[in-house]
Amino acid sequence: MPSKSDSGGACVFCEIIKGTRPAHLVMETEDAMAFLDARPLYKGHTLLVPKEHYETLPDLPPELVGPLFGYARRLATVMETGLGAAGSFVALNNRISQSVPHLHVHVVPRNRKDGLRGFFWPRTKYASEEEAAGFAARLREALRDPAEPSL
């Protein structure tokens, strides 16, 4: 199991967790905290973080994955029940586009015609069914790695 990363004391989210940097707290448990994003896509955009400093999802110990995503599920629910949103967008970046190197899940309230278009992702196509089958086979093979937890 990967060990937690050393934040070196300069992690913005660790400062929020310690209470040395202000944030608008949404939820706190023994192992996680959620607070409003300082630069939200939409009002209510919440960041959910583990209290221990882990940089990416692969760094998060398996026993914390379920609880963290249980909290994300609850936050997605309250985007609708608490804010009246039609739905939500739940996302997480690993390294690329991760502006703070501390694992965080974005839970964003969504409404039809809110202007967010595919989260600005370019779309592509496989050249053929064979190429798609090849990518699927590579991923299946990688999932068989005995060092990884069973799916």
Residue 5, domain member (yes or no): no
Q: Which of 53, 102, 104, 106 is catalytic?
A: 104
64 is a domain residue: yes
Structure tokens belonging to residue 83: 């804010």
Phi, psi of 35, rounded to the nearest 5 degrees: -150, 160
Compute the CA torsion angle 70, 2, 45, 26 (nearest 10 deg): 60
Flag whether 113 is in a domain.
yes
The DSSP code for 1 is: -
Structure confidence at residue 104 (pLDDT): 98
Alpha helices, H only, 1-148: 12-18, 62-81, 129-143
Give start and end residues of each alpha helix (H) in 1-151.
12-18, 62-81, 129-143
* pLDDT in 10s for each residue of the chain, 151 residues: 333 545 455 899 999 999 999 999 999 999 999 999 999 989 999 999 999 999 999 999 999 999 999 999 999 999 999 999 999 999 999 999 899 999 999 999 999 998 887 656 566 788 999 998 888 888 788 778 666 555 5
**Is 131 part of a structural domain of the chain?**
no
Residues of the domain holding 57: 12-122
Dig out the tokens for 145 from the structure: 């790695």
What's this model's pTM, rounded to 2 decimal places? 0.82
Residue 151 lies in a domain: no
pLDDT attached to residue 117: 73
As for how many domains the chain has, the answer is 1
Decide: 29 and 71 in contact? Cβ < 8 Å. Answer: yes
Verify whether residue 104 is a known catalytic residue. Answer: yes
Burial of 102 (0-12, 13-18, 19+ CB in 10 A): buried
Q: Does the residue 91 lie in any domain?
A: yes
Give the pLDDT of residue 116: 80
